[in-house]
Amino acid sequence: MTAYIIADVTVTDAEKMANYREWSTKAMQEHGAQVLVRGGAFEVLEGPWTPSRLVLLAFESMDKAKAFYNSQTYTHARTLREGAGVMRMVVVEGV
């Protein structure tokens, strides 16, 4: 069953975040992520949620999404992201 990683990112240090994006992209490629949304315009339709930057990744399964998140490459990316902003991320199974 397809799984999705949904992230809401607030960038506070663009240079550090650029380094993170380089390594996170490598991790996505290594783990077969399909990038559905990475930034772009959005509009809140309901509720108090006010995201800054949205990312939506699709994976073949929950296991593959978790393998991406726990991979050595993405772990390195997360280290590079420290102090670059605030990341809110979930993984969810599709239907």
pTM of the model: 0.93
| Sequence-separated (6 or more) residues with CB below 8 Å from residue 60 | 2, 3, 32
> Mind listing the pLDDT tens digit of every residue in the chain (95 residues)?
999 999 999 999 999 999 999 999 999 999 999 999 999 999 999 999 999 999 999 999 999 999 999 999 999 999 999 999 999 999 999 98
Helices 72-81, 62-70: crossing angle, 10 deg rounding: 60
Architecture of domain 3-42+51-93: 2-Layer Sandwich (3.30)
Q: What is the pLDDT of residue 8?
A: 97
Q: What is the pLDDT of residue 81?
A: 96
Domain boundaries defined on the chain: 3-42+51-93
* Residue 1 in tokens: 């069953």
Q: Give the residue among 6, 5, 22 at the shortest CA–CA distance from 84.
A: 22
Phi, then psi, of 87 in degrees rounded to 5: -115, 125
